[in-house]
Amino acid sequence: MSEDAVKVMKQQVGKAAADLVKSGSIVGLGTGSTTAYAIQYIGERLQNGDLQDIKGIPTSFQARVLAKQYGIPLTSLDEVDRIDIAIDGADEVDPQKQLIKGGGAAHTQEKIVDSLAEQFVVVVDESKIVEKLNLGFLLPVEVLPMAMTPVMQKIEALGGKTTLRMGVKKAGPVVTDQGNLVIDVKFDNGIDNPAELEKTLNNIPGVLENGLFVNVADVVLIGEVKDGKPTVRQM
- Report whether 35 contacts 29 (CB < 8 A): yes
**How far is it, in rounded angstroms, from Cα 217 to Cα 87?**
10
Answer whether 61's CB lies under 8 Å from 52's CB. no
* Annotated catalytic residue within 110, 142, 198, 209: 110
Active site residue 110: yes
Q: Round to whole Å and give the CA distance between 100 and 90.
A: 6
Non-local (6+) Cβ contacts of 98 within 8 A are 133, 194, 195, 212, 213, 214, 215, 217
Cα distance from N-terminal residue to C-terminal residue, the chain = 22
> Which residue type does 163 have?
T
Catalytic residue positions, numbered: 110
